[in-house]
């Protein structure tokens, strides 16, 4: 047999077969994208094109009532029904928008946190429907606060739609794969004010009510719809930025966030033009369950950022960064959540670097990445390192996205991007790529595969273990070597403290950010004695700090060392603000401290009504998990 037959033929054949297999799978991926497992809607059949929401708010009964006009386009010309997501909505009638004729509809059985499919029968001529409905007082996306839960004398309402709570406020195709512009009219009792994730157009007054009109021209996914109604006031920071809060703390909010325009400008240098018109910032009451929420034109933030020294404004940089990654380039469904959060953390730290200037910037950025690894380790510890939810791409069939939430998409995602940046030759090469990625995919919803092929087309010779990074659970494949020069001081002090070497002078030279890092590092050490903690407490009184991050890290250090005097302070901290990032770890820490476990559960039960329902149900699940393990 000749060499041609024994070697060359099989080699050529296998190259051809390999090529054919690759083509086949590429084609499969393009032709049948996986449908959104968190929505009943089917974007391959029919797609909403605009929403017009008209609601009247009754804060006494905690109900929004009115109608929504939904226009759509059939993808499949034969499509005879429109399937929307809805959750606990009371629907009274549905009309053909053009003819005014009533349309038949069926609300399917409620399926857990996903709500129900609402199937509307369409006439061939129907291209828009009007759904008349009202929300439930227990709508999962709404929290109504009684006057005693606010600073003032009026009730307060806010929504939190991400990930799948929009459907409890408006019937819609509640998938980030579909984006639509929206207009809205909200009628509220005087003297309440309404704001939304849109531009305010005008208002009209009647004797006892005010109607506010809004317009969001840029197509957005339903999870970015947002409403706040309360006795709120605002103060201008720049021509396009203002801060909103309850009357009583507006001055404090203004001084904490007065640099927002500067941060926004830095973000534009990193990511491109800011296209949303306004960037307003609204400071919510303490039960707001997140640090921030990137509602377009109107970021929501927790009042726990009010440290008095601007030390926690990285959250604002983060929400600003979402104006590009998340709000322009959107994850197609929650299985690709890291495309929203990993990219946003990565941009957030680029923005912080810009603000720190060319000398310090890179060290600031890498220091932030390094500290982020601590929360990643904690998240993976809580889930377990083999838990599939610790991969970047997850499977959410039957899984509530709120249950899948953790630091993993944030920190593993941004670690991956940092790794890719190093691989291609550093920021000088990666920055322009990132900008072109944003420009190319803005106004679209994409999956991880789209990012992967875009990367491959730019860097055809760069080898990446995509599977290893995207679908393997646990810590990142590679932990980059970060510049830790900015952390040196905190590392030194944490080491000294852990050895019981405590000097008052040292503390004075630490910024609040350095105190946070020092305490965060101290919490990772296993040899901090009760005696040391006692001494730290009497020297520095961290337990009285007004900085929520300091208080949080300090509580965790104390609980780990079983320092009893912290218990009442820790419980007070987690029952007077409802930010899950603080509430869940501290309750979990206390649940596993035998002497206080039951006490912590009792306090939670007593204070339960304070929390937003997302936070409440997550802590309830944490209690069940604790009891199952005990
Ligand atoms: N979009 C998220 C908050 C969110 C995520 C709400 C998933 C509901 C479901 C927001 O941008 C965020 O990430 N906030 C962080 C800020 C931090 C990473 C700087 C937070 O809340 O702590
Ligand atoms: Zn985010």
Q: pLDDT per residue over 354-411, tens digit each?
A: 999 999 999 999 999 999 999 999 999 999 999 999 999 999 999 999 999 999 999 9
CA distance 46 to 76: 7
Task: Give the Cα separation of 140 and 167 in Å (integer).
Answer: 9
Is the beta carbon of 319 within 6 A of some atom in ligand 1?
Answer: yes
Tell me if 405 CB under 6 Å of ligand 1. yes
Ligand 1 atom closest to the Cα of residue 348 is 19
CA distance 112 to 23: 39
Please work out whether the CB of residue 295 comes within 6 Å of at least one atom of ligand 1.
Answer: no
Number of Cβ within 10 Å of residue 346's Cβ equals 25
Please identify every residue whose CB atom is under 5 Å from ligand 2, which is an ion: 341, 344
Residue 260 CA to residue 241 CA, distance in Å, equals: 7
- Confidence (pLDDT) at 171: 99
| pLDDT of residue 468 exceeding 60 | yes
What is the average pLDDT value for the chain, to the nearest integer?
95
Q: Would you state the pLDDT for residue 490?
A: 96
Q: With cut-offs at 50, 70 and 90, classify the pLDDT of residue 506.
A: confident
Bridge partners (DSSP) listed for residue 245? 233
Q: What are the pLDDT digits (tens) for 58-80?
A: 999 999 999 999 999 999 999 99
What pLDDT does 504 receive?
75
Task: Evaluate if residue 121 carries a pLDDT over 60.
Answer: yes
The pLDDT value given to residue 340: 99
* Cα 328 to averaged position of ligand 2 atoms, centre (Å): 13
HSE toward the beta carbon, residue 284, CA cutoff 13 A: 31
Report pLDDT for 332.
98
Note the pLDDT tens digit of each residue in 573-614.
999 999 999 999 999 999 999 999 999 999 999 999 999 999
Contact between residue 258 and residue 249 where contact means Cβ atoms under 8 Å apart: no
Among 90, 36, 141, 118, which Cα is nearest to 397's? 36
Tell me, in angstroms, the distance from the centre of ligand 2 to residue 410's CA: 8
Alpha helices in 199-336 (DSSP H): 250-257, 260-271, 314-321
Convert the pLDDT of each residue in 220-250 to its tens digit.
999 999 999 999 999 999 999 999 999 999 9
Dihedral sign, Cα of residue 505, residue 510, residue 515, residue 519:
negative
Contact predicate 337/162, CB 8 Å: no
Distance (Å) of CA 545 to CA 515, 533, 552, 569 = 11, 16, 10, 11
What is the Cα 321 distance to its own chain's centre?
12
**pTM across the whole model:** 0.95
Confidence at 264, pLDDT banded by 50, 70, 90: very high
pLDDT tens, position by position, 529-584:
999 999 999 999 999 999 999 999 999 999 999 999 999 999 999 999 999 999 99
- Residue 25: its pLDDT value, please? 47
Fold agreement between 3-230 and 243-323? no
> Ligand 1: which of 291, 313, 402 to mutate, judged by most atoms within 8 Å of the beta carbon?
291
Residue percentage of the chain with pLDDT more than 90: 93
What pLDDT does 9 receive?
62
Residue 291 alpha carbon to ligand 2 centre in Å: 9
Q: Is 87 in the pocket of ligand 1 (CB under 6 A)?
A: no
pLDDT at 505 > cutoff 80: no
pLDDT at 193: 98
CATH 1.20.1740.10, domain 243-323, yes or no = no
Does 327 score more than 70 pLDDT? yes
Domain borders along the chain are 3-230, 243-323, 324-471, 488-629
C-alpha to C-alpha distance for 128 and 100, rounded to whole angstroms? 10
Candidates 409, 53, 430, 460; CA nearest to 216 is 53
Architecture of the domain defined by 488-629:
Alpha Horseshoe (1.25)
Distance from Cα 18 to the centre of ligand 1, integer Å: 42
Which tokens is 538 given? 């009497």
Q: Looking at the annotation, which residues are catalytic?
A: 319, 410
> In a mutational test of the pocket of ligand 1, which residue from 292, 302, 324 has the highest number of ligand atoms less than 8 Å from its CB?
292
- pLDDT of 12-35, one tens digit each? 666 556 555 554 444 444 456 789
SS3 content of the chain, % helix, strand, coil (to 5): 45, 20, 30
Q: What percent of the chain has pLDDT over 70?
A: 95
pLDDT digits (tens, 9 = 90+) for 174-227: 999 999 999 999 999 999 999 999 999 999 999 999 999 999 999 999 999 999
Task: Calculate the alpha carbon distances from 97 to 49, 65, 442, 624 in Å.
Answer: 14, 19, 31, 47
Q: How far is CA 422 from CA 431, 440, 446, 463, 469, in A?
A: 11, 22, 24, 12, 15
- Does the domain spanning 3-230 belong to CATH 2.60.40.1730? yes
Spacing, Cα 374 to ligand 2 middle (Å): 18
CATH 1.20.1600.10 fits 324-471, yes or no: no
Q: How is residue 220 written in tokens?
A: 């957005």
Residue nearest to atom 5 of ligand 1 (CA): 162
Residue 34's pLDDT is what? 86
For range 310-323, the mean pLDDT: 98
């Amino acid at each position: 047999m000749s060499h041609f037959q024994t070697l060359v033929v099989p080699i050529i054949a296998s190259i051809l077969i390999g090529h054919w297999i690759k083509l086949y799978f590429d084609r499969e991926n393009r032709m049948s994208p996986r449908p959104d497992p968190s929505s009943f809607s089917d974007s391959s059949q029919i797609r909403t094109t605009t929403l017009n929401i008209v609601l009247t708010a009754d804060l006494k009964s905690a109900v929004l009532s009115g109608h929504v006009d939904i226009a759509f386009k059939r993808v499949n010309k034969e499509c005879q029904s429109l399937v929307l997501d809805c959750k606990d909505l009371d629907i009274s009638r549905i009309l053909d928008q053009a003819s005014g004729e009533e349309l038949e509809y069926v609300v399917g059985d409620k399926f857990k946190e996903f709500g129900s499919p609402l199937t509307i029968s369409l006439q061939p001529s129907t291209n828009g429907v009007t759904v008349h409905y009202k929300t439930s007082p227990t709508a999962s996306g709404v929290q109504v606060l009684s006057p005693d839960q606010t600073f003032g004398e009026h009730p307060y309402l806010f929504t939190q739609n991400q990930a799948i709570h929009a459907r409890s406020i408006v019937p819609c195709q509640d998938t980030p794969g579909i984006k639509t512009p929206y207009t809205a009219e909200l009628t509220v009792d005087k003297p309440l004010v309404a704001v939304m994730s849109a531009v305010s157009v005008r208002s009209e007054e009647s004797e006892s009510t005010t109607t506010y009109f809004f317009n969001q021209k840029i197509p957005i996914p339903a999870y970015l719809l947002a409403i706040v109604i309360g006795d709120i006031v605002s103060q201008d920071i720049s021509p396009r930025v203002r801060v909103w809060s309850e009357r009583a703390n507006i001055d404090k909010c203004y001084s904490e966030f007065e640099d927002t325009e500067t941060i926004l400008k830095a973000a534009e240098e990193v990511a491109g033009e800011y296209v949303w018109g306004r960037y307003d910032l609204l400071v919510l009451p303490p039960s707001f369950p997140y640090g921030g929420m990137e509602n377009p034109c109107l970021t929501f933030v927790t009042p726990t950022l009010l440290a008095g020294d601007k030390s926690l404004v990285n959250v604002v940089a983060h929400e600003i960064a979402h104006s590009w990654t998340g709000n322009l380039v959107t994850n197609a469904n929650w299985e690709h959540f890291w495309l929203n959060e990993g990219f946003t953390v990565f941009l957030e730290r680029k923005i912080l670097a810009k603000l720190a200037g060319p000398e310090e910037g890179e060290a600031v950025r890498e220091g932030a990445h390094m500290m982020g690894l601590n929360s990643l380790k904690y998240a993976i510890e809580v889930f377990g390192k083999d838990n599939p939810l610790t991969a970047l791409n997850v499977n959410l069939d039957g899984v509530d996205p709120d249950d899948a939430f953790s630091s993993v998409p944030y920190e593993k995602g941004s670690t991956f991007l940092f790794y890719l940046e190093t691989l291609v030759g550093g920021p000088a090469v990666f920055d322009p790529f990132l900008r072109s990625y944003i420009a190319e995919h803005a106004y679209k919803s994409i999956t991880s595969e789209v990012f992967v092929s875009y990367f491959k087309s730019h860097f055809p010779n760069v080898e990446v273990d995509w599977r290893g990074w995207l679908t393997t659970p646990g810590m990142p494949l590679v932990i980059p070597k970060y510049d830790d020069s900015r952390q040196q001081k905190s590392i030194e002090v944490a080491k000294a403290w852990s050895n019981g070497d405590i000097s008052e002078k040292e503390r004075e030279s630490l910024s609040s950010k350095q105190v946070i890092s020092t305490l965060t590092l101290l919490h990772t050490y296993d040899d901090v004695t009760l005696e040391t903690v006692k001494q730290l407490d009497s020297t520095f009184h961290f337990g009285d700090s007004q900085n929520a991050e300091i208080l949080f890290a300090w509580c965790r250090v104390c609980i780990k060392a079983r320092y009893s005097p912290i218990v009442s302070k820790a419980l007070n901290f987690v029952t007077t603000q409802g930010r899950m990032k603080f509430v869940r770890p501290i309750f979990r820490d206390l649940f596993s401290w035998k002497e206080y476990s039951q006490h912590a559960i009792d306090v939670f039960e007593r204070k339960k009504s304070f929390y937003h329902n997302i936070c409440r149900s997550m802590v309830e699940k944490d209690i069940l998990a604790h009891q199952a393990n005990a």
